Structure 1
């Protein structure tokens, strides 16, 4: 597998303290009852010009709420919402600054990449940069009226940093402006507020984790103060889950910055990064989440129901329903965009246990994603074929095509230092353990409460990330480093139980994609060491059938590869012809009928492996009529490459497909000789 970039999820959120109560109270009471449809963009945008700070604040907060319905966003953009909200980032009222930043933050989060680029085009970065600089200069001078209240300047900075994070994640122009405007040091200052304001520090850490990825221009400006601030976060020892998330994000940022770290400190920093991730994975969410849920129940038994809590619960249910009904969204480039429905900022301050649980799961998901990046090279893999297929390479010559073959087929490599650190801190074992998450008890305690029910998807995502991480580890380490034959067989049995433990194979695409990738890597390693396979013929066929119905190309590619790996192993054994016939028929079906050219090619490649040699393979090939079937398929496959390949496939894909086309001709010649025996 090629480099798997850390997946970020932009989240539609209110500002962290909910709607400003005093602004709502001083508005016309009738307006409080207005439905969102009765509060048009033009009216709200007009209120932004009011001489009353309370009215401006209320208008910003209302826009924050309304734009969470994505269909309302065009109306705001057409009326110049960004140009009107931008100046309010420097309003004389801190409350207006905060709610204006929150409105722009939600606009960026709910509007996606195109809206973020439009916001940058309308120069939102200029007032945002000035706002963040003013916030950092005023952190220590802000007046806090009550001991249990947050610093108001930090509240503004929290919203502003989240907006900056969204923009830099979605807009290359925003990232370029970030690099040139000296915002790196400003965001690091926000990170350094972690002893006093962990929410602000986490937002800053998310932002730093984003902007430091694949950004050599920025990393050239990294200095000892930046590295020191990140290392100080790693050395913090507070046991709460928010700090665990903060440490994980700091570890990921340091990994992104590894080439900027002085050589004399690289080994020590690497060990600290992996140790941090290891400690995060040690946290048992299956135990901690039920404990947090029970603690919340105990705390609220005698409490008066909170209206905002009900709103948060309703929103959680709506978002889950929307996610289930609509499925993954598509970005403009055709790639699937995974959307995370995090409603944690909507929660009233009393929902601390839920915040802790959310932070725990985010920390573990982030840690697993960082380990994936540590294991993976920059080479594309079969899993990423479909991601490259959008480029038009129709003018590329054959020599250039084949130049890419070596990089596509080259094995992944893991430096001795990284591998040593991962093994030292027992990362492979801990990752395998995480693939068994979530526990039923954790799911059961979350289900009754709408707010907590939203954690179910997060728990499932941790499992999927663990499976992806296991796949990366298996792809980059040798069998001995992973515990030898016994450990590999136990891992194979475990993965089989995840897939076949229930009556039906799970249909969740994210899980299926992750588990089948891990199974493929594991079975390849097992086959290379001549370790007995553990999947039964019935299980293999069930997996193949489930995968062929999946829309995700990489799932179908990996399923076909698993058939090829298993079949080539069985071809060396006695009395396996019947099983080989089942595999051969399944592969022929995919090679002939799958709509995707890459999957067709993978199925043919698997057929070559299964029926390349051996008496059992020869018998099975005759019984299923493999030779006439491939002869009939050959011109169809060649024509499909001519018609579809140049328009849909990248150069490396085309090179591999041309290679398969050549091997198909040679394999047909081989089968003709076998028939003449």
Structure 2
């Protein structure tokens, strides 16, 4: 989530006489002093900010709050701020009599809570920041606040500084029935909702406190962008999606107050109605968020109409269908044209010193608007992909049967981890699934290297590209969930499925530097390999080569993440199962390599027990067929497993209380291994 910008108040002098951050740094440079450590520098700034915010002068308060907002991204500053109890000074400023102070305080707290650090949000909740947030809403945003422009304050448009800077402001709101104008009251409301959203995302206690306050009706009143603008509506939708997740209290109340508005937002006519006055990407984001809210309500308060489910499915489909790569290319072209690729750094510095022209500022604004627009699009797609992923859930059998003394389980009892993939909103299948939809999800994973490298290196688009990276990971996780559920036709049969698998395998081998992406990519590859195997194991075996197998083994050997390694292990195991269905000499040779690899994982002394169990499970699947006996003898399978069995049970006794959710797969391997060894010994001897 991006940082909020403070309003700029241009002053030719320093009315408070107190130093700001820049003046402190300049004084150090002029004295030629060595740089002080970050902690003492922060302490100096914090003491200055304390004095400024405690002043009765309006300009001094604003200076302190603006400094606080701008410093949140510096390493260690927020921690120093919390240590000095600065939050206890900022919180009350949310209900300051001056509207500009309330807004600046809201921006500062939004930036602090928006860092995504749950520990910081927990401290803020403990410091009672929510009390002031709720007081802000109750005092200045009563049920009739939309009918009044000021609620007791001077009209925000009466501020001279705002009038002078209105043309240059990037925060322009579009209000119902009026010309474009900036509204302090609405912006402060929007920042306050962001604070509430950030805290509820990170703290269960914040959600509990939210339920205890009669605040939901006030917030949901701005869910319709015609009431107080698209920015406020999107902020409200974000907040409501968070607080209604697994929250029956909020979901039930919201259904009573806002189901009509949600139905309206998700209607096909809404996008057309708003297209003339709002950016399509923001409207798309709002519709996807509304779909998420409806899904949350339907879980906690059943009975959502099939028509509304069809509309939420359509909103998800529309978001996924948009090609974000074209939007990124357009941003790259715009930045190249307006910034000028041939401008050297010295000329840039000279233009800054001499002052920039209004045309240059307009160009900067245009670039910023373009980046914000694409960011909204990418955010909409991230949420849509997450919703689609969550719609398809894997229903596992209850694991409570697992006895703490796993070695006492019946030796001959086969343990089966049966599972089924189901869509919790059947209307999604009616609207969404077709070959084009699968292609659209996979396009979220692909990237144009030339565009990507330039945008990632550009400070103006670095934050955007981090969101695009998240989109890629979420799309891969989505594929992992939905691949077992879609029909063969949706995958274009075996050739289409194999093509997807090859792309995923290539991605795994290329993206070894990004651990998060690699985990998601290997998960999707594992799901796709299982799907291809089920379609046609012999055809799958025919396309497996030693070079492909070795590439995966090399990635596994270099990878430290256990989940990623298990995904590769299971993929290699599935390839081994396919090879077991082929009678060619090459297949037998490859099967031996697969078996040797899986045995190596099983016999590593330092290997995690659950990883060993996964490798064992894959190994037993690969060599379950009689036709694999020759390869089993060649790699000494039975003797290796006999040696492994007592060590496995010893580890199981030692670690049984710490296995957590991995207990099921370990119990399965332990139960099946001895029976598998006995079977193979008898069969090979005959």
For the aligned pair, the TM-score class normalised by the smaller chain equals 0.7 to 0.9
Bigger Rg, structure 1 or 2: 2
Partner of 1:661: 670
Counterpart residue number, 2:329: 290
The change in CA–CA distance for 1:38 and 1:167 in structure 2 (over 3 A counts) is closer
The 3 A distance-change label for structure 1 pair 480 and 24 is farther
TM-score (norm 2): 0.81
> Cα 1:528–1:376, aligned 2, differ >3 Å: closer, same or farther?
same
Tell whether 2:416 aligns with 1:414.
no
Q: What is residue 485 of structure 1 aligned with on the other side? A: 494
Partner of residue 434 from structure 1, selected from 444, 449, 453 = 444
Displacement after TM superposition at 1:23 (Å): 10
Counterpart residue number, 2:355: none
Matches within 5 A, 1:114-263: 114-137=119-142, 138-142=145-149, 143=155, 145=157, 148-193=180-225, 197-234=229-266, 235-237=270-272, 238=275, 240-259=280-299, 263=303
Q: Name the CA shift for 1:66/1:497 in 2 (closer, same or farther; >3 Å).
A: closer
Q: Counterpart of 2:548?
A: 539
Find the counterpart in structure 1 of residue 23 from structure 2: 33
Question: 1: CA distance between counterparts of 2:348 and 2:102?
Answer: 27
Over 3 Å counting, the alpha-carbon distance change for 1:476 and 1:103 in structure 2 is same
Instruction: Name 1:495's counterpart in structure 2.
Output: 504
| Paired residues for 1:598-617 under 5 Å | 598-615=610-627, 617=628
Query: Is the 8 Å Cα contact of residues 601 and 660 (structure 1) preserved in structure 2?
Result: yes
Residue 361 of structure 2 corresponds to none
CA RMSD of aligned residues (A): 3.5
C-alpha contact 1:85 1:100 (8 A) present in aligned 2: yes
Q: Any stretches of 5+ residues in structure 1 without a counterpart?
A: 1-10, 311-346
SS class of match (1:573): coil
Looking at structure 2, the residues matched to 425 and 394 of structure 1 have their Cα atoms a distance apart, in angstroms, of: 41
- Asked whether 1:276 is paired with 2:285, we answer no
Aligned twin of 2:391 = 374
Aligned partners of 1:407 and 1:106: how far apart in 2?
49
Following TM superposition, by how much is the alpha carbon of 1:157 offset from its aligned partner in structure 2, in angstroms?
A: 1.2
Q: Measured at CA, do residues 642 and 290 of structure 1 come closer, stay the same or move farther in structure 2, by a change above 3 Å?
A: same
What TM-score, normalized by structure 1, do the two folds share? 0.82
Between stretches 281-290 and 171-180, larger displacement belongs to 281-290
Please give the alpha-carbon distance, in whole angstroms, between the structure 2 residues aligned to 1:359 and 1:90. Answer: 30
Structure 1 residue 52 displacement after superposition: 0.9
Q: Distance in 2 between matches of 1:195 and 1:350?
A: 28
Secondary structure, in 3 states, of the residue corresponding to 1:507? coil
Match 1:525 to one of 517, 525, 531: 531
Q: Judge which range, 599-608 or 254-263, deviates more.
A: 254-263
Larger relative contact order, structure 1 or 2 (CA cutoff 8 Å, min sep 6): 1
From 607, 621, 626, the counterpart of 2:632: 621
Query: Residue 135 of structure 1: CA displacement?
Result: 4.3
**What does residue 357 of structure 2 align with?**
none
- Offset at residue 554 of structure 1 (A): 1.7
Q: Deviations over 1:366-404 (max 9, x none)?
A: 2111110111246599xxx9xx9xxxx9995769999xx
Q: Work out the number of aligned pairs and report it.
A: 610
CA distance in 2, matches of 1:458, 1:401: 48
Q: Is the 8 A contact 2:416 2:668 kept in 1?
A: no
Partner residue of 1:98?
A: 103
Shift in alpha-carbon separation, 1:528–1:378, aligned structure 2, 3 A = closer
Structure 1 position 16 matched with structure 2 position 2: no
Q: 1:527 to 1:262 in 2, by over 3 A?
A: closer
Relative to structure 1, the CA distance from residue 509 to residue 19 in structure 2 (aligned partners, 3 Å threshold; closer, same or farther) is farther
CA change 1:223–1:466 in 2 (3 A) is closer
Residue 609 (structure 1) shift: 0.8
Is the CA contact 1:24–1:58 (under 8 Å) kept in the aligned structure 2? Answer: no
CA separation in 1, counterparts of 2:61 and 2:593? 69
CA contact (8 A) 1:139 1:153 kept: no
Residues in 2 aligned to 1:357 and 1:129: alpha-carbon distance in whole angstroms: 32
Find the partner of 1:356 among 373, 395, 398. Answer: 373
Change (3 A) 1:596 1:512: same
- Contact 2:438-2:491 at 8 Å conserved across structures: yes
Seen in structure 2, the aligned counterparts of structure 1 residues 654 and 301 have a Cα distance that, compared at 3 Å, is: closer
**8 Å contact from structure 1 (residues 248, 367) kept in 2:** yes
Residues in 1 aligned to 2:12 and 2:208: alpha-carbon distance in whole angstroms: 37
- Conservation of the 8 A alpha-carbon contact between 1:422 and 1:428: no
Does the 8 A contact of 1:70 with 1:111 survive in 2?
no
Displacement of 1:49 after TM fit? 1.7
Q: Shift in Å at residue 299 of structure 1? A: 5.2
Partner of 2:597: 586
- The 3-state SS of whatever aligns with 1:411 is strand
**Are the equivalent residues in 1 in contact too, given 2:397–2:419 (CA < 8 A)?**
no
Q: Which moved more, 1:117-126 or 1:92-101?
A: 117-126
